Amino acid sequence: MKIAKNIFLLGILILAVLVFGCAPKDAAPEKTDTEGKQEVVVKVGIVGPLSGGSSVYGIPHERGIKLAAEEINAAGGIPGVGKIEIFSEDDEGKPDVSVSAVQKLVHRDKVHAVLGAINSSATNANMKVTWEAGIPQITSISSAPTITAQGNPWIFRTQITSARTARGLAEVGVNELGITKWGILHDADDYGKDAADVFESRLKELGVQNIPRETFIRGDKDFTGQLLNLSSAGVEGLAGFGMTEEIARAIRQAKEELDLHFQWIGTDAIGSDDFIRLAGESGEGTIVSVLFVPTNPDAKVQEFVKKIKDKYGETPDTFYAQGYDAMMLLADAVKRAGSTDPAAIADALRKTSDFVGLTGKTQFDEKGDDLKPFLTTVWKNGILVPYK
């Protein structure tokens, strides 16, 4: 009897393994609703700096994504597919940490798509993980041209490349501002170097020669030497390509400590409220390229501004909006794909043609770069307003 009982129990165990242990590895995760129905869960990973100096971009980016996911879920989820589950990892803005973070999202959490990272060097490093795994990734903040120049079919960028913005800023600097004596102060990272190279190249095409360049590394606090060198070279306009903290500090040192009054210009890296808080009055008049301004009277924009103010007690900057749009775009692609299959989602993203978000209409080129235009703005009375 004991032997028979053991054989019976063994048979039950084998049956359980056959029934529950043989589900396809790529099957979409499911949850049971209150009526006992199985619901597909769309698993979305976020990677970005939630701590450290770059968190001024990462935190609003994450908040924008989560707000979009909450709204979608409150409306019943992605039509025809299911509700969204968010998994978030802090990469501190560091490439090695970012790689580890994305590995967790892809291999541990089994996400269907990744949103991020923020720092270009981090995205350049971590996208190799999603590329190898065949998981679509949307970076809505990283701007280095190298990200989409590697033939990776899984990477999409809704941020404007630093090549486009730097080129446009050079044209504004010469054609609109009338300044022909330009210098460049830039971070030595991927973003800073790439933007500086394009800015310098476009200036030369516009007839500007002898463009002095000075560099710094993340975390530097004293820019006296670089600023004095640029001043000695006769610079009148200065392009700052770096993160908020360093560029704000450099602008403040130039005006308040060295009495150097350059016309500053830069990309959306200095487009957050943290920039003007750190730069103070010295930041007034700085020209910045961005995708979103909260003063836009459009009803959709103002509704978003109110939601962020009500939820977080602050006015949203471009990074809130770019995160929000990235999630909404992904949801649109999942809806059109009709499933959580990564390849189907990537194909739907590639075919995007009529998605309109807070930052404009998205359409990708053959490399995965968004073709939407950017705004040229200026810091005036503590807020970003259209330059003209």
* Domain topology for 38-160+297-373: Rossmann fold (3.40.50)
User: How much is the CA Rg of the chain, to the nearest whole Å?
Assistant: 24
The answer to whether domain 38-160+297-373 and domain 163-290 are alike in fold is yes
How would CATH label the architecture of 163-290? 3-Layer(aba) Sandwich (3.40)
Predicted TM-score (pTM) of the model is 0.88
- Give dist(CA 177, CA 107) in Å, integer: 51
Q: What is the pLDDT of residue 38?
A: 55
* pLDDT, block means (10 residues), the chain with 388 residues: 42 41 42 56 98 96 98 98 98 97 98 97 98 98 95 98 95 97 96 95 97 97 98 98 97 98 97 95 98 95 98 96 98 98 98 96 97 96 92
Q: What is the pLDDT of residue 294?
A: 95
Domain boundaries, the chain: 38-160+297-373, 163-290
Q: What is the pLDDT of residue 26?
A: 42
Q: What is the pLDDT of residue 17?
A: 39
